Amino acid sequence: MRRQIAVASIALTTACGGPSHDSGVVVRDSAGITIVENLSPVWGHGEGWQVAAAPTVTIGVLEGPEEYQLFRVRSAVRLQDGRIVIANAGSYELRFYDADGGFSHAVGGQGGGPGEFERFMGAIWRANGDSLVIYDYINSMRLSVFDANGTFGRTFRLDASSTSIPLADDLIWGDAVVSRSALYDSDDVGDGLRRDSAMYCLHSLTGEVLDTLGRFPGSELYAQNMGEGNTLAISRPFGRSPQSAATAEYWYFGSGDRYEIEGYGRSGALERLLRRNVANRPVTQDQLDELSHRGSGTGVWREIPIPETMPAYGQFLGDADGNLWVQEYRVGDEPEHWAVFDPRGRFLGIVEMPGPGRVTEIGSDYVLGVWTDELDVEQVRLYGLERDE
């Protein structure tokens, strides 16, 4: 049964239960939706989690055997036995490495056949039982399934019966794909700033639509009609962009407008709102000057209105223990900080990540991701994560 969920503002003064307090956290109920107001972190001074200063595993070299030279890494995951699998889009391969980073074998390759990838190797996700699901965007949005050793199993495409051109957005709960509809809601695309909504649906690992999650705000874009049916779409500098991720129990969505995150349960219903008592950072004059300099040779850039504030946050990730990690919105060479919310929705505190990099997976005791060294060499690194319980 599909459920259409209307996403609307929740009036805090309506049908609210009595608030409970827990170390700077206020929890209340509004019409059956749990609202978690985070006024201050749970971790006290000197408490919290830390990512190790140096990685325990590093894969990626400037010169050396080809299997260790990485290019356009889309993602990396760690299997239950410690092996690391890398989606290396530069060679259209899934590369398998042992727990110490030693190369084992590769599967895939460029092409349109079973187990191959056309022109754009997309995300890689770990499904239940260590199966791997890989998204091939160009090849008719095809998803391929491999087992934990890289043996090809099957392909499927997402059913488009509930929306137009479904794009795979995430794999949640290990057995379902979340899709979102394509860029624009309609064919009427005029010049100027626009923010279309997107339909999100839940699909089985054979492509059928299981449920309709609802319609949510998309990214802020500036559109310019280039003629002959072509439209140039540019991301708005400091524009709001949707973020989502799944934990063991919830699918979280945030529009980026303010520090509020919606949590949807397995039934597809909105069950909780996570809020943090911080305002969006203002866009400074130095940042405006930098944008003006960068876009000085492009007329389109000068037409885009710049917001007064930055988005509330960056990327979302769910970890192995049901915590939600929310990347602090960062500019340039700023340190990379992540806010951690526990399974109850409480803001625990901030964890600093090595930078500059892109985190792809967080386990109980590790952080995995893609970084570049001082020579801009792509590397997949595994860092230890120390948790003070």
Q: What is the DSSP letter of 82?
A: S
Rounded mean pLDDT, 274-283: 96
Give the 3-state secondary structure percentages of the chain, helix then strand then coil, rounded to 5.
5, 45, 50
Q: Is the pLDDT of residue 11 over 50?
A: no
Q: Does residue 94 have a pLDDT over 60?
A: yes
Q: How many CB atoms neighbour CB 24 within 10 A?
A: 14
Question: What are the φ/ψ torsions at residue 294 (nearest 5 degrees)?
Answer: -65, -35
pLDDT at 204 over 90: yes
Residue 316's DSSP bridge partners are 326
Query: pLDDT per residue over 36-90, tens digit each?
Result: 999 999 999 888 999 999 999 999 999 999 999 999 999 999 999 999 999 999 9
Bridge partners (DSSP) of residue 75 are 87
**pTM of the shown model:** 0.90
Kindly report the number of other CB atoms within 10 A of residue 292's CB atom: 12
Q: Mean pLDDT across the stretch 321-338?
A: 94
CA gap 354, 237 in Å, rounded: 25
Mean pLDDT within 201-221: 93
* Residue 67 confidence (pLDDT): 97
Domains of the chain: 20-386 (2.120.10.30)
The tokens for 194 are 């626009």
Taking only the tens place, the pLDDT of each residue in 134-143 is: 988 765 678 9
pLDDT the model gives residue 140 = 60
Provide the residue type at 344 as one letter: R
Mean pLDDT of 266-290: 93
Q: Quick check: 270 and 263 in contact, CB under 8 A? A: yes
Which of 5-14, 93-102, 123-132, 305-314 has the lowest average pLDDT?
5-14
